[in-house]
Structure 1
Amino acid sequence: MTELSTSSNRTGWRGLLRKGWRNVRAASGRQLAATALMLVAALLITRFSWDLPVVGNAEDALYDLRSFVTAPVVDQDPRIQIVAYTDQTLIAAKKRSPLDRGLLARALQKLDGMGAKAIGIDVLFDQPQDEDEALVGQLRAMRTPTFVAYADTATNKDDINYEQQQYLKGLLARLHGTQAHPASIRLSNYQGATRVWPSIEPGLPPLIGRAMVGAGPDAERARAFEGYAGSIRYRRAATDAPVFSMLPIDLFAALDDPEMAAALAAQIKDRYVLIGGEIIDTDQVTTSLTAYTGSTVPGIEVHAATIAQMLDGARMTPVAPWQRWAVALLVILAAMLTALVDARVWRMAPFLAAQLVVIGGLPFLLQWRGVETYGTPAFGWVAGWILAFTAVSSAVRASGAVERRFAQDALGKYLPRDIAQEIIDNPERLTLSGSKRELYILFSDLEGFTTLSHQLEPEVVARLLNDYLDRLTRVVLDHGGLVDKYVGDAVVAFWGAPIPRPDDGEKAARCALAMWQAGEDFRRSVDPALPPIGRTRVGAHYGEAVVGNFGGERRIQYTALGDAMNTASRLESANKSLGTSVVVSREFAERSGLDWWRPLGRVVLRGRARPVDILEPMPDMPADEREALEAAVALIDSNPAAAAERLALLAAARPDDKPIACLLERTRKLQGEKAYVLA
């Protein structure tokens, strides 16, 4: 039986959830439809928040915060060296745009002998200059793997036009077969910031950072990033020194001093060298750290960050779509469960705080652990939770007016009216947690119904079964019992919980016989044209069981569990072997207060080890025959042969009494054992 909640002062969280769920079910169809639509909207927001207007901007902002908070704080990176055109370089060269290529050619000549692992040039050669021949000659002469910037109109239409692209291709073609190779300098600027690696586009050479690392001794680390288009892991400087060392390019172009050359060579040896612009108003990039550092960075530093990320092996672990769906569903479920809890604010506060910490902190934890959180909702989780909470809360409040009527109707389907009313008036009488109780337990079964159901149309089976269960349920409720469950055509009922009464034993005993009689009435009521209906068999036992709410978060059941339940079930099954329709244990019979029982010996039930004394209700049996039977059964333990002789006389006097005949047969087969083991 689905359990109803008690007052919030006297019940646990499960009871509070049940009360809220009951209220939701009692809401009107229109309210439920509106709630369902809001929950669907909440789920979509929770899953697809990055793709929604306004909400997507909030996701970007939260991602930037995560990136800043979790960014590694490091000293200056000794693996990468930036050689830059600075504003002072341009002033000294008296040439701002395009950048001086003669200066670059001279610098490359010096750098080539300093032992760099690879050199990358983040400067587009997209229009002819007087120094091009000198530059091409130096590039062709390079011994160090060198990568020259490449862009095309398909992926960088804002930076290059068709004529410029054609000139660039022609210049790069002259480098074929040398150590100088084209490399893409394309960066992602989605949503106004460079937060992720650029996508892999067909026809483009590899990204300059990938190409440089792939050409050096760390090629294996570059291969680990093949196809990667996830987050760029930016780092923050631990001191006033920048993360990447920068040297002006003119230091190399005019290098004549041997001591200076040796000092600069120490800065270059075994490093990845990036050449580009560190110019205040040119090629400045907004990153995920810009909102918190207050500054943009040159594009060349973004390429340096990708190289450092590869060297660190800091590839962010991708999040699968199903994982995002799973989290979205969990968030919505948490909001729904929270809204269902009918408790005071002070009791809910820790629960709400815990959810806030988890929902708000999980993206930061994932980012810190190297999980890809770009594209994984964070603001959407919060927004979806709020919307789902609001939807369910509204449904709960809207249904409050019908709560008592629902309780009366629901309880009345499982409990006698007097117990149902007492629970509604005094809900503390209903124990929500499992507790041990002494119960009178009945199991019933309709013989042969499973076989019969295969011979009839489903509609006919359903009509017959509903009629049959309705009759037996009415018998149980009329005798003050609680319907525990239906298992196909079987009915399970018990007395003694949730509220025990002194006459439970007698009522349970009378109910056992009445259930068999109701089954016989049902058999007589069935259309004679249908196949014959089997008899109803009933087994009853008295013993200890654990009674309470069992199940899970989505469905709970008020039921009884324990060995006593199993014994009652085995007794019901034993009717077939015993020739009886109703059989009970001695424990049950002795506590019933009735004198209509006749003993049928002792048996070991199927699947059990301990023998059970069994009895059958026989109100109409003459007193002398009952006494004779009791005397015969009493002899079974001490003298089975003598007992069998007496039982034979009884069987002869009652030729139609199948239970006596079965008892006689069992007694003759004992062979020194004190209890017959049922097959």
Structure 2
Amino acid sequence: MSTTRGHRRLTTASLLLLLCLFVLHASGTLAVLLLHRLDEQIQDTRLRATMPRTLDERIVIVDIDEKSLAEVGRWPWPRDRVADLVDRLFGHDIRLLGMDTVFAEPDPLPGADQRLAQAIRGRPVVLGYYFTSDREGRITGQLPAPVLDLSDGSSSVPLTRWNGYGANLPGLMQAGASAGFFNAVTDDDGVVRSLPLLASHGDQVYESLALALFRHLLDRPALELVASGADGSSPGVQGIRLIQGDRQIVVPTDGRGALLVPFRGTGGPQGGSFTYLPAADVLADRVPPQTLRGRIVLLGTTAPGLQDLRATPVSQVYPGVEVHANLLSGLLDGRLPYRPDYAAGYELLMLLVIGLALALWLPRLGATKAVALCLVLMLGVVAVTQFLYLEHGLVMPMAALLALIMLALALYMGLGFLGESRARRELARRFGTYVPPEIVEEMLRDPDRYDMSATTREMTVLFCDMKGFTQMAETMLPADLQRLLNEVFSRLTAVVQRHRGTIDKYMGDCLMAFWGAPVPAEDHATRAVDAALDIVAEVRAINQAHRDRGLPEIGVGVGLSTGPMCVGDMGSDLRRSYTVIGDSVNLGARLEGLSRVYGVDIVASDRTREQAPGHVWQEIDRVRVKGRSQALAVHLPLGPAGVPDEAMQRELSQWRAFRQAWLARDWLSCDALLAGLMTGNVKKVLYRYWAERVGLMKSSPPGPDWDGTTDHTHK
């Protein structure tokens, strides 16, 4: 690609302008939502690719599933039944129980709430509750003790804030060891990617269910916020510090105190990440003791009717209880991917480095080296971000960096082609939808030779119509019919283009193509015949695939006509197309219709036969079609001429004898010859048609002026 000094200046200035736009995005001045969404999709893909997909044996989910609801009854269950479930779980010597449920309303059965309080009192049970946000700030039940107090003026910390809640009854709250909220905060696209570890209500800070379980396992260490910034003065959150004597554990978070959920697998009882046990099996003592001994148990539900299913990056239907199980598993393992508070600075710095490098080097490189440079930069960005993710759990932005490189390359290539000939671009634009790409490339070598002005020349046209389409349209769903047509037309179009044909149009279930324009071809008839034979072979392959898939089979009828035609850009001011018109074109459409009459796949005009001598032909009939007063012979191509096929030669010899007997009005000889032809022959429909014609002639002999021509007055 040539690069003049002026072109280099223009390219450099354009690349610097592009860089400025991305810098505005990274700084938050002109945020591009699409790039943010793309970053989320990249992280979702990376998460799915790196999930361990292994079983965490430490955590067991006791599932209030459809089976349990069918056996025990609809939810909520009586509190004494829940108490029985708690007793049986601790009877299996479990280590800890977390409840992804809330008991905010009193049980109508007297003493049931006290029974449940008695079951959880003195046992390691972490209750669940939820926060709400509405205008009225409704509250129900009693919150647990907060983990932090922000009334000292630190309330500017940007934690997730709520003004209402639905918590457990006071008696249950006081009986439980602790409690944590189980809210799932969705992103703008409705997907749950992260969970807040802390949230605030008023000036008080409360912990999530997963964090409450994790702290309980660590004997309830003290908790403090790690503020963003080197001196801790920034209002943002960088992490949570758990302090237990001389031991400290720092859980890194994003600026809102939330963590990306480290999903282990696809979720659900069949997901393989956690053991699922139906709650009904626990109540009925159908669970082996070793299954639960020493395990952390989460009580939750996968029943769709209880509405605790979430859309996540790994599944559109994911149990909410398993989201918390994944976060707890990540806390236990220290496997916690997060987006640090300095991610925006990293993105800005990388954009500047990459953008300036592109602006400096791209204008000085040829096309091949420019593509190579951009590929190296993209691979470098992917490698660095992947290393930071796998080795350090850092989720760094990548979309803007990749988009900058790709757009810079596209801008460079676009500006580089501004000096190309307008005629070349116009030629490719006009003919690209009609002819194969290799013909367009051939035309572009000398574009001045080609235009879309109407001219008359000798050409060959092909009409290909699907047989049985009307019946299929009556029995198939519109979407299924559309897929079938698209599949068939795509494959037949590929056949036409393989033989260097020009696609004219698609008309319902009919394909129209021609040979000889825009690039002249002396062998246009031969190419058209070869394409017709390959279309028939392609349909056989399609039907074989349809039989295997239980889809309806199709048939085709092909008409071929050779002769003078007018070709060019035709139509109205509103809609134009590159097409052919003329008597020879009309004849091709009529011949396609005759394929149904004679029961053959292809019907070609006599002129097509004359100009394709490299094929074996069988004359079908001599006809006079609607719109033409002159009779013509029509033929069926049997394949390319080559090594003589003895069976085919015998058939053609018998057929020629039949045609002679037909013209001689020797009906008895016609019957005898047709009987031989119909024995084991695939063209039985053709020969049966002629047998019927002979029968008519015997019953009603033709007049003295009969010359053997068949009149077809219909279209």
Q: TM-score range by the shorter chain?
A: 0.3 to 0.5
Q: Which has the higher helix share?
A: 1
**Which structure has the larger Rg over C-alpha atoms?**
1
Higher relative contact order (CA 8 A, sep 6+): 1
Q: Which has the higher strand share?
A: 2
TM-score (norm 1): 0.47
